[in-house]
Amino acid sequence: MKTLHAPWRIEYILGPKPDSCVFCLPESPDQDAERFVLHRARHCFVIMNIYPYSSGHIMVTPYRHVSHITALTADECHEVMDYVQKSAFILEQAFNPHGINIGINIGEAAGAGIREHLHVHLVPRWNGDHSFMAVMSETSVLPEHLRATYERLLPFFTNLQR
């Protein structure tokens, strides 16, 4: 596998690892910008993936620490899906992608990197977005810095009602 320079990863590699779940947010929104939280709703929130598969990769996550979709209450499940729909619309407005991958990985065998706390991925995609890099070099290219992506998306989510 080839390597591309990704300077934002060094903080994760060398920094202390959290003892708690990265998806369990504090009640106060004081850390939302540094944690890349885009929106807080009643039962869920929208957060950027800080190790994205593609620029604009976001996740809709329930506040409650559950690992399976069957553990959600009806209200939680409905709101999560409402925000998946709203987030897809926002990604289309902000990035004009050719498509969007939307998925939930439940359990390690299904590819869940953080299997203890359910989250729904939304990954904008463009025809040829990873072109030969992914096929030949097993490498993906992110054309925009995370902070720039956050600043691009935040105004769209700020206008949403809670």
What amino acid positions are annotated as catalytic residues? 119
The beta strands (E) that lie in 85-145 are given as: 99-104, 120-125
The per-residue DSSP string of 120-132 comes to EEEEEE-TTSSHH
The beta strands (E) that lie in the chain are given as: 37-40, 44-48, 58-62, 99-104, 120-125
In order of 12, 13, 92, 145, 154, the CA distances from 84 in angstroms are 27, 30, 12, 23, 16
